[in-house]
Amino acid sequence: MTSLIPMLTLLIFLPLCGSLLVFALRRSDAAVRGVALAFSLAELALCLWPLALSGEKATGAPAGFFLYQDAAWIERFGIRYTLGMDGISLVMTILTAFITLIAVLSAWQVKERAGLFFALLLALQAAVQGLFLSLDLFLFYLFWEAMLIPMLLLIGVWGSGRPVYSTIKFFIYTFVGSLLMLLAIIALYLMHGAQSGSYTFALPELVRTNIPYDIGLWLFAAFLLSFAIKFPLFPLHTWQPDAYCDAPVAGTLMLGSLLSKTAAYGLIRIAFPLFPEASRALTPLIFVVAVLGIGYFAWIAFAQRDMKRMLAYSSVSHMGFVALGIAAWSPVAVSGALLQMVNHAVTTGALFIVVGMLEQRAESRDLSSYGGTWGKIPVFSFFFLLFNMASAGVPGLNNFVSELIILVGTFRVAPLAAAIAFLGTILTLVYTVRLVQEVLFGKEKQPLELKDLSLREAGVLAVMALVVVGLGVHPGPVLELFRMPLEVLLKP
Amino acid sequence: MTLQDLYTIMPILITAGAALFVLLCGPVLLSASLTAIGVTASAAAGVWAALSIPTSTQAVAGLAFTPLARFLIPLFCFAAALTLLLSHSYNERRGIKGEEFPATVLFALFALCVLPCATNMLILFLALESVSFAFYILVSMDLNRAESGEAGLKYLLLGAVAAAFTAFGFALLFTGSGTLQLSGALARPDNRAIISAGWGVILVGIAFKLSLVPGHLWTPDVYQGAPAPVSAFLSTSSKVAAAALLLMLLALSPPMPELRVPLAALSVLSMVLGNLAALMQQNIKRMLAYSSVAHMGYLTLALLSGSRDGYAAVLLYGAIYTAMNLAAFGAIASLSVDQERELLTDYAGLGFAAPLRGGVLALAMISLAGIPPAAGFIGKFFIFYSAIKGGAISLAIIGILSAAASAYFYLRVVAQLYMHRSEAPAPQPVSLAEGLALCCASVVILVIGVYPGPLLDAIEAVLH
């Protein structure tokens, strides 16, 4: 059954077809929105379907993969169109489909050139899905780069503030990193070919390459640099606050919730397994930047008066936990990191949306403009509080679970790093409490006419709140999906 | 000469015949029909060459339909046909009249078709100089603009010096080996000193033709002064022809370790200075000129490896570069009103005001920057692959970092097209011929970018 329908190809090309269709219909705003919504819903349904298959093994696939597809592509270089889905990819594709759906809904009011906007959103989704499914390093790189152009335009055309500056800064940073990664990929390919006689970019093959330690260090550094820029890790983050702030809400959502996850995914799927020795040698460095990031960015977030900027720093601060879990490279810590990727995407994404809604109502992102919204717009304020509590790590909500798993997993490997990171969570509490206090409670600082949530807005937030609570109380099934693939990835 | 021989040199005969026909019958025919004749002849020559089987036997003294010719002639014909399509309405807007424009394009194409067929240094030199000669005329074709004439003069004066160097180099090779036959002259290792000297002098000439630093100084002025369709043709076909000449000479020679250092120096200087200079340009044609300097630096990087992979990368990049630059200059030509839009800021908002041409220009920029899924990425990948395989790792790192910096100036154009408001006069609607040419170039860019397999196979066949 599964072999008859090229599921994985469909996952990539369905949004791409949607993108082209939306662009063709760009004259009518209503049609554009309807088609974009329909395609993103269909994509989500399509992503959920393989849940039934997990646990099986596809024919010809490497261990752990239950859907697999392989075809010759550029034979001159042994480049193949190889896609595979294991538990990790499955969760990431579902996350991508979910976040894109939310992005489409939250961009409902985009009026200017809506056709192009939604077309780019769906094209970006196709690239991200492809990236999460690629098992050929060349294909992975292609999708990695293909994400750039839609993102560049989403920020540059529909952004606010200094969009052109921000978007070009974002682009140059990521582009420098990825080109160095390209050189490393080529070097690895040649080395593997010279050793085994078969020139291939297939990830399961390349893992077996015997890489001399000093060369491995350079190659791993190139991969790490590329992923650390998109992550972003301290001190390569300087593009991030600008890009997050100046992007439209849906763009920030894609950037903060999905693109940063592609970098974490790259570290887990590619960089660490390919270079076990080099990654172990550089682990202390990653611990340092991760821990530094958690604390430092939380501290900077506290100093912000612009809410979106505060969230941008909060977002990188939370991503520090993901880096921490990956650096520990134990099954518990990495599964925590993967869960944190999902939780971060949902929680931070939801926070960007609520702040976007507030900005849309009062045309200000400054903390000083607000106060006492609890009494005026209770439904909004409820969601605002809930997502902030999740972000602060209140037990029973999603971030608590994954951050705890990461800390526990890391503590066994690097107690000091885990202890300092734990202190960082206190700083998170500080800025979150201040945000909640200033916006929701206290006296109204300026007289504002605020309207409570519309049905669409409330629906979007309610769905996200369900996920936040659901993953908080019952994360077991998701963690179970990670178990098998991690056994394969982390085997010594 | 047998009938078979006639078949093999048919592309050359078609283009020469069409050029003469257009020149002789031009005064009594409509200018649209002249363009149509030129495009048809180019297409016919290209298709003929693509469908013929290459042989090593000489059809006439000094000419054989080599595998390289089978690859390059269709490429040159593609470029010439697109140039003719693009120039028709451009010339009407600009008041460039007469049959001499299409005729000269066809003469240039004729010489371009001869070049890869040459088996003899004399023919090779004559072909190269005929190409340049046709371009001297084309560059200064716009009589209403002083810059055009100035550019032509500049190109002619420097070109003459370069031609003298190249001729002197060939003479030294002849002295060293005693034969004009390419296969004989280059395969002989005796008289090493004279042959090395000959190579050195030829490199000076080729560095000028390829606009490698420091032989690049004419490039920005000429690209800026020439009519945009001519810049399109000049920046693609003349460059590919010069690279092909270098490739033919290198492929037939025994390994020449003494060439490695000069080639490496030319390559690094061109990549770094070309991209740095392009960063500072406000004029789009000058920016593209410096970008072309950098791209020729990448090409030289691939040549440097001296391996089959390197030569394959050169041919692939030549083909991709042709499509990219035709698209870029084609969009510039088509977006011009009574004046060309020179400054980058003249392109503000055109991505929405003129969706097709803005889109094509943006695609060309993305491809030049080497971002997938555009073909430029595949080209860059192959170049850096062959460089690393050839052991030139430090050069590859310098090259890739300069390529990363280059993304900035290409993206500035994209940013102008889509992220700034327009105040410039609205462009005229796109004409059928221009639309056709731009679509052709874009389709080639996208198809090669996504599925380069067949093209790579064709290149393998050339090098076999």
CB contact B174 to A (< 8 Å): no
Angle A415-440/A307-328 helices, nearest 10 degrees?
Answer: 160
Collect all residues of chain B within an 8 Å Cβ-Cβ radius of residue A145: 371-372, 377
User: What pLDDT, in 10s, does the model give residues A56-74?
Assistant: 777 778 888 888 999 999 9
* Residues 368 through 427 of chain A touching chain B, CB cutoff 8 Å: none
pLDDT level of residue A1 (50, 70, 90 thresholds): very low
Q: What is the DSSP string of A300-325?
A: HHHH--BHHHHHHHHHHHHHHHHHHH
Tokens representing A482?
């990670």
What letter represents residue B409's amino acid? F
d(CA B122, CA B3): 25
Average pLDDT over residues A156-164: 91
Q: Which of B289, B165, B310, B163 is nearest to B231 (CA)?
A: B289
- How far does the CA of residue A425 sit from the closest CA of chain B (Å)? 37
CB contact A354 to B (< 8 Å): no
What confidence score (pLDDT) does residue A3 get? 55
d(CA A95, CA A39): 15
Please state the ipTM of this predicted complex.
0.92
CB contact (8 A) between residue A77 and residue B385: yes
Least confident segment among A39-53, A255-269, B220-234, B269-283: A39-53
Angle A378-392/A398-413 helices, nearest 10 degrees?
Answer: 10
Is the backbone peptide bond immediately before B214 cis, with ω within 30 degrees of 0?
yes
- How far does the CA of residue A189 sit from the closest CA of chain B (Å)? 10
CB contact B460 to A (< 8 Å): yes
Best residue of B365, B371, B410 to probe chain A, by most A CBs closer than 10 Å:
B371
> What percent of chain A is predicted at pLDDT more than 70?
99
Which residue from B400, B419, B453 is facing A179, i.e. has the nearest CB? B400
- How far does the CA of residue B245 sit from the closest CA of chain A (Å)? 25
Cα dihedral A140/A144/A149/A151 (nearest 10)? 130
Collect all residues of chain A within an 8 Å Cβ-Cβ radius of residue B389: 190
Percent of chain A that is helix, strand, coil (3-state, to 5)? 75, 5, 20
- How far does the CA of residue A223 sit from the closest CA of chain B (Å)? 14
CB contact A187 to B (< 8 Å): yes
CB contact (8 A) between residue A153 and residue B418: yes
pLDDT exceeds 80 at position B464: no
* Residues 318 through 377 of chain B touching chain A, CB cutoff 8 Å: 352, 366, 371-373, 377
CB contact (8 A) between residue B457 and residue A113: no
Name A449's Cβ contacts closer than 8 Å, sequence gap at least 6: none
Collect all residues of chain A within an 8 Å Cβ-Cβ radius of residue B401: 176, 179
Residue A394: DSSP 8-state? -
User: What pLDDT, in 10s, does the model give residues B220-251?
Assistant: 999 999 999 999 999 999 999 999 999 988 88
Half-sphere exposure of B331 (CA within 13 A, CB side): 30
Average pLDDT over residues B429-453: 94
What confidence score (pLDDT) does residue A398 get? 93
CB contact A148 to B (< 8 Å): yes
Helix residue ranges, H only, A238-330: 240-246, 249-253, 260-266, 272-274, 276-303, 307-328
Collect all residues of chain A within an 8 Å Cβ-Cβ radius of residue B388: 183, 186-187, 190
* Residues 414 through 453 of chain B touching chain A, CB cutoff 8 Å: 414-415, 418-420, 451-453
d(CA B10, CA B70): 12
CB contact A186 to B (< 8 Å): yes
CB contact A142 to B (< 8 Å): yes
In terms of phi and psi (left: phi > 0; alpha: psi -120 to 50; beta: otherwise), the region of B401 is alpha
Q: What is the DSSP string of A362-375?
A: HS--BGGG---HHH
Q: What is the DSSP string of B38-106?
A: HHHHHHHHHHHHHHSPP-SSEEETTEE--HHHHHHHHHHHHHHHHHHHHHHHHHHHHT--STHHHHHHH
- Segment of B158-162, B251-255, B303-307 carrying the highest mean pLDDT: B158-162
**Every domain of chain B and the residues it spans:** 256-464
Beta bridge partners of A82: A70
pLDDT level of residue A375 (50, 70, 90 thresholds): confident
CB contact A194 to B (< 8 Å): no
pLDDT level of residue B7 (50, 70, 90 thresholds): confident
Collect all residues of chain B within an 8 Å Cβ-Cβ radius of residue A176: 401, 404
Question: Closest-CA residue in chain A for B400?
Answer: A179
User: What pLDDT, in 10s, does the model give residues A59-117?
Assistant: 778 888 888 999 999 988 999 999 999 999 999 999 999 999 999 999 988 888 999 99
What confidence score (pLDDT) does residue B188 get? 64
- How far does the CA of residue A177 sit from the closest CA of chain B (Å)? 9
> What percent of chain A is predicted at pLDDT more than 90?
75
What confidence score (pLDDT) does residue A447 get? 76
What confidence score (pLDDT) does residue A4 get? 58
Tokens representing B371?
């971002």
User: How many residues make up chain A in this entry?
Assistant: 492
Helix residue ranges, H only, B211-307: 218-225, 228-233, 239-252, 260-279, 284-304
User: What pLDDT, in 10s, does the model give residues B60-75?
Assistant: 778 889 999 999 999 9
Which residue from B381, B418, B456 is facing A157, i.e. has the nearest CB? B418
d(CA A145, CA A175): 8
User: What pLDDT, in 10s, does the model give residues A24-34?
Assistant: 998 888 999 99
- How far does the CA of residue A218 sit from the closest CA of chain B (Å)? 12
Collect all residues of chain A within an 8 Å Cβ-Cβ radius of residue B381: 182, 186
8 A C-beta contact, residue B96 and residue B246:
no
d(CA A91, CA A339): 9
User: What pLDDT, in 10s, does the model give residues B253-283?
Assistant: 887 888 889 999 999 999 999 999 999 999 9
Best residue of B381, B393, B450 to probe chain A, by most A CBs closer than 10 Å:
B381
CB contact B400 to A (< 8 Å): yes
Average pLDDT, chain B: 91
> What percent of chain B is predicted at pLDDT more than 70?
99
Best residue of A80, A142, A173 to probe chain B, by most B CBs closer than 10 Å:
A142
CB contact (8 A) between residue B372 and residue A77: no
Best residue of A19, A175, A178 to probe chain B, by most B CBs closer than 10 Å:
A175
Which residue from A74, A156, A182 is facing B453, i.e. has the nearest CB? A74
Question: Closest-CA residue in chain B for A140?
Answer: B372
Residue B258: DSSP 8-state? G
Collect all residues of chain A within an 8 Å Cβ-Cβ radius of residue B407: 171-172, 175
Average pLDDT, chain A: 91
What confidence score (pLDDT) does residue B189 get? 66
CB contact B54 to A (< 8 Å): no
What letter represents residue A120's amino acid? L
CB contact (8 A) between residue A76 and residue B385: no
Chain A, chain B: beta-carbon pairs less than 8 Å apart: 78
Question: Closest-CA residue in chain A for B390?
Answer: A190
**Every domain of chain A and the residues it spans:** 1-274, 281-492
